[in-house]
Structure 1
Amino acid sequence: MNLEAFWDSPGPSRFIDTALDNIDKFGVVAVHAPDRIANLVPDILAKKAFSRNRVQPVSIHMKDIGVARSPVSLLASRLQGGRRIRIRTTKDFLDTLADSPRTVIVSGLNRETWDLWSGFVSSVRSETKNDVSKIPKIVVVMPANVSQKQMFQTFGNQALQRWQGIVDRLDMESWVNQEHLPASGIVERLARETCLEVSGPNMFLLRELLKLDERQQIEPWGILKEASETWVGKKSATWREGLVDEWDGAVRVDTMVLAIRNQRAAFGKRVWRAQARILLSFIEDIRSMIVRRHSQYLQGLLPWDHPHFNNRNTRHHIDEYDIRDLSLALRNRMTKEERDLVLSAAKDITNPLAHMSTVSYDDVIQLLHLYDEVSIPVVEPGWDWPDVGQKLVMLVGSPAAGKSTWAKRHYDRSEIVSSDEVRASSPRFRGRGKDKIVFDEVRTRAMKLLKDGSNAVIDATHLKAEDRKESRSIVPRWMKIEYVVVDRPLEEKVRDQDWRIKVGEDFVREMHERFIESKEEILRGDDDPRVTVNEISS
């Protein structure tokens, strides 16, 4: 994931903007951040400062200077393009160069160089107390081991911008959504939510978690514990190292510290929070489906008492039945598939979550398989369609592979349903989190074509097995389905990805890798006997 994109998220973006606003107000200001964040701040400040006033800032990284030089002489030299100029005092500097429009960004300070710069900043504040027109534009990225008291004394309270509680859940979600497609399906949503909850405000950890497969993302303890073994002797956690910060209104110790300390119970609570958000909602969907199917029978049982709770939880309305009630109230009414689903939902998912325990990846997968068995539509799709030889064509391939070009060469435009064109057709299909309604519309349009006796060509990536299954599910069992698998070399995809919409090289590479990982099952037609596969090199 691109770390620069992280700074476009609301909290980090506001942090940088506030620092630049402070320069306009106070002239000489400080930014105080943990070491890992402080290493990124100078470049981000420089880019944003330039975008504001179109004047290239001056960046001074003290570790690159080699020797401790006077801030006055160093600033004079840099602001004059490297030319030597006889300026020896702070007053000389302010009289000669303070009105420069260029912002100076100072970083890489240690204790020795900080002593020099703190003296310079104090001198500037003293000299400009009665003449604010001479205040230069300087931002100092502070070493993390300087106390706030020292910084307040040097810069003043208002001119100090501190990285603490800056990042929240919205920021991390925003960053992920810039770099990845929105999560779809229970497993992917659960994996994404677990990554966000486990990483908290640690963008470096989140980036690594998102590289793992879904099983590792949902059950990350083992791989994080293994990684923690390289942190030899590391037991403490400090803000300076970026291992403690505020998150969701509370002080939070980084998850890697929990792994180092072998605090699996505390770690499990973070995973549990993610699972509760996703899985309890899904359990409610299952409960509602079963209640609707058996509503008349359940209505006739009211008022209903749970036999194991001594009549303390009498149900007076069918919406009051919970998933555990249904396994008893309907034990002689449900089909075997329904009974297996309800028992799995109650025993493997609801019970652990109710006791703040985590659910295994295998139990989630089992529940989804059982749900697929039960949630098959009662009405056969396409039951009233004519059989005139029409077929469903599903394009499969990563972005920039050439799918749309191939489709337009081989089919009439009226037969093609493009997910990109659906997005562009209305504001309600654009923006984050709109994938589901976009593909619902794509499949609705495809069904209309097939019902009218025409071929339907769905122009979408279809890289996820779940998405391909959804598209296949819209047609009757007698209808032919063709996978047209379109691919070309990665270099050509990267080269041509800008032709329609700029998605970024990292995104193109990620989707190419996803295609390679899924290619074997795609070329097997997902083991669906209705599917024939046509592999194309565009």
Structure 2
Amino acid sequence: MSEMVRPEELDGPAGFFETVVQRLFDDGLVCMPIPREPPEWLLPGLRQELERAASLRTYLLDMEELSSYRSPAHTLASQVMSVATGIRSVPAFVADDELAEAAFILHGFSLENWQGWTTFLRAFRHEWTRRGQAAQPLIVVCPPLGRPLQELLALVGAKGQVLPWRGQVQRIDTENAAFQLFGRPRPDDVALTVSVATAVELAGWDFRMLEVLARLAPADRLFPLDALTSIAAGMPDTSLTVPCWENSMVDGWDGGPYEHSLSLLKRGNEREVRSRIWRAQVRTLFPFLERVRQQVITCHHDFLADRLARKPITREFHSGQSKTYDKPEMLEPNDLWYVLQHHIPPTEADFLELCKRIRTFLAHMSVVPPDFITTASDWWLGESHRFGEACPGWTWPRTGQTLTLLVGPSGAGKSHYAARTYRSEEILSSDSIRVELGMPLANEGDQRPVFVELRKRLVARMAIGASVVVDATHLKREDRLANVRLVPEDMDVNYVVIDRPMPEKEAQAGWRLERPRLLADHSALFERGLMDILDGDQMPHVSVTDLRSEVE
């Protein structure tokens, strides 16, 4: 295993080790069956736990490598003592002070030498119990495969327990190991989130599979079927006829038996592996689609509410029943794309259509193509900040910071008012950002980059507890609310309404003369929206300061 992942420190394995150690101190002997190919870290991890937590000198012994000519008591004692000639009986082995703080983990038994060791182990357990809780050696024994349960129970006695390494790795253990290898995904990094979930679903209890998947190219991690099929093709066939726990191809995981993904592919069961990839996508993409749905509705709520008030969506079902969607919150991804496709920028419409197609794949139990996921992820990574958060400002300190929106048509005197009223570090000017981005002040072309940058800076400043004044026209209700909804409702927002007579605006028009009717059109738009502006757009935390008669 990679040094980045230490399975023995994860909750499931660590809890198992603690149980083994506790039973070892209670009974002296623990029978711990393991599969043919146990995790390479399992027995060394148990030895480490015995040495660290119990301060025992612990010996991990492969029984195939030990001499079978000496008695078991002498064989074990010779691992600890330089001269063990006096240890030839079980009572002498249990009573020797030099062995009192020693623990032995015995594994690798053949059926031939197992029979001789069972006599010693039963005698050891009897003598250990007879002596009570005095300091004595301790033994963990991993029996050979194929031994009847009754034989193992007889070995540990009436009060003992057989503790098989079975079903000890939980989903949360695999997830934590995956986070160590892949990194914990950002909430808006959909591709990495799906990649990690796919690795977890395909690895199950086998942490080595996580490392195999982590070595793949990022694009292949989303759909690693070809890579795993190639690995499975190189596996031997001998042990895969009937997968089971003993041949290390099945273990308990996530509430039931879990066959190793490579075993499934070796036996031609590609369908189940595809199903695991689909399950990983369901666990991650459905929550992502719901987050998108909620944030898109919040961003375009006013338009959607107006559209549904005028023309609700009614859907007929095969059962003969129908359902009417007359509130934005009721809309599904398909409905959002249908209603918004001609109202929003083409790239956003394409994204919503892609979300609709992703949902259709998932609903029909089909694996979503990897390029769908990467395209959606890339777009959302770059654009999600435009839609705000479900709980805006939840991490911000409450310092009394406020948001002020200057509201008024072009040429109304907003910038002049801001400069003489507020500190320069409080002001965010859309015109200043246009200049920074190399865009004309004439407000022509796509203005989204300006306001994307403005809102980034707004959030960044308020997130550290600073107040912000936004110097922009804010003539459209949706533009005002796009800023207002970035701020939690326990923080004050103030509309400062500014205008002045048209002759004064025309006399100082400057660059505005480059766009005929700019001043007149802005004034008309301002007047049409004035009722909503003065009402604070019906937002509970918005107050209004009307300075139209005071601006020079």
When the two structures are superposed, what TM-score results if normalisation uses the length of structure 2? 0.65
CA contact (8 A) 1:108 1:143 kept: yes
**SS of the residue aligned with 1:314?**
strand
Query: Is 1:363 matched with 2:364?
Result: no
Aligned residue number for residue 175 of structure 2 = 173
Shift of 1:8: 0.1
CA contact (8 A) 2:214 2:221 kept: yes
Aligned residue number for residue 132 of structure 1 = 132
Task: Give me the CA root mean square deviation.
Answer: 3.5
Shift of 1:192: 0.8
Question: Quick one: which amino acid aligns to residue 359 of structure 1?
Answer: V
Aligned residue number for residue 244 of structure 1 = 250
- CA 1:284–1:3: 2 relative to 1, 3 Å: closer
Shift of 1:311: 6.0
Deviations 1:21-43 (A, max 9, x none): 11110012122222332653332
Aligned residue number for residue 89 of structure 1 = 89
Deviations 1:363-420 (A, max 9, x none): 11222355467657499x9646979x999xxxxxxxxxxxxxxxxxxxxxxxxxxxxx
Distance 1:98 1:23 in 2: 19
Question: Quick one: which amino acid aligns to residue 266 of structure 1?
Answer: E
Structure 1 range deviating more: 287-296 or 236-245: 287-296
Aligned residue number for residue 213 of structure 1 = 217
Distance 1:38 1:369 in 2: 37
Question: Quick one: which amino acid aligns to residue 351 of structure 1?
Answer: T
Distance 2:5 2:37 in 1: 14
Question: Quick one: which amino acid aligns to residue 91 of structure 1?
Answer: P
Distance 1:199 1:255 in 2: 7
Distance 2:324 2:69 in 1: 78
Deviations 1:470-522 (A, max 9, x none): xxxxxxxxxxxxxxxxxxxxxxxxxxxxxxxxxxxxxxxxxxxxxxxxxxxxx
Distance 2:10 2:218 in 1: 25
Following superposition of structure 1 onto structure 2, how do residues 343-422 of structure 1 map, counting pairs within 5 Å? 343-347=353-357, 349-371=358-380, 375=384, 377=386, 383=429
Aligned residue number for residue 9 of structure 2 = 8
CA contact (8 A) 1:58 1:104 kept: yes
Distance 2:84 2:325 in 1: 87
Aligned residue number for residue 225 of structure 1 = 229
CA contact (8 A) 2:28 2:125 kept: no
Distance 1:210 1:51 in 2: 31
Aligned residue number for residue 155 of structure 1 = 156
Aligned residue number for residue 324 of structure 2 = 314
CA contact (8 A) 1:107 1:141 kept: yes
Distance 1:195 1:378 in 2: 30
Structure 1 unmatched runs, 5+: 392-439, 453-538
Aligned residue number for residue 482 of structure 1 = none
CA contact (8 A) 2:91 2:127 kept: yes
**SS of the residue aligned with 1:146?**
coil
Structure 2 unmatched runs, 5+: 389-426, 438-455, 469-552
Shift of 1:110: 1.7
Shift of 1:60: 2.5
Distance 1:232 1:72 in 2: 39
Instruction: Give 2:275's match in structure 1, choosing from 269, 272, 297.
Output: 269
Aligned residue number for residue 408 of structure 2 = none
Aligned residue number for residue 198 of structure 1 = 202
CA contact (8 A) 1:2 1:179 kept: no
Larger radius of gyration: 2
Distance 1:208 1:186 in 2: 21
Aligned residue number for residue 189 of structure 1 = 193
CA contact (8 A) 1:272 1:356 kept: yes
- CA 1:323–1:304: 2 relative to 1, 3 Å: same
Shift of 1:448: 8.0
CA contact (8 A) 2:74 2:87 kept: yes
Deviations 1:321-341 (A, max 9, x none): 100122333344344223222
Deviations 1:432-463 (A, max 9, x none): xxxxxxxx99x9479989x99xxxxxxxxxxx
Query: Is 1:75 matched with 2:76?
Result: yes
Instruction: Give 2:287's match in structure 1, choosing from 277, 281, 286.
Output: 281
Shift of 1:280: 1.5
Deviations 1:169-202 (A, max 9, x none): 1111222334553223111111111101111111
- CA 1:129–1:48: 2 relative to 1, 3 Å: closer
Aligned residue number for residue 262 of structure 2 = 256
Distance 2:78 2:63 in 1: 14
CA contact (8 A) 1:197 1:271 kept: yes
CA contact (8 A) 1:91 1:127 kept: yes
CA contact (8 A) 1:70 1:116 kept: no
- CA 1:87–1:330: 2 relative to 1, 3 Å: closer
**SS of the residue aligned with 1:306?**
strand
Shift of 1:16: 1.2
CA contact (8 A) 2:298 2:387 kept: no
Distance 1:378 1:19 in 2: 52
- CA 1:447–1:390: 2 relative to 1, 3 Å: farther
CA contact (8 A) 2:27 2:129 kept: no
Query: Is 1:296 matched with 2:302?
Result: yes
Query: Is 1:31 matched with 2:32?
Result: yes
**SS of the residue aligned with 2:141?**
strand
CA contact (8 A) 2:37 2:248 kept: yes
**SS of the residue aligned with 1:58?**
strand
Structure 1 range deviating more: 15-24 or 281-290: 281-290
Shift of 1:6: 0.8
Distance 1:283 1:114 in 2: 58
**SS of the residue aligned with 1:245?**
strand
Distance 1:278 1:210 in 2: 18
Shift of 1:92: 3.3
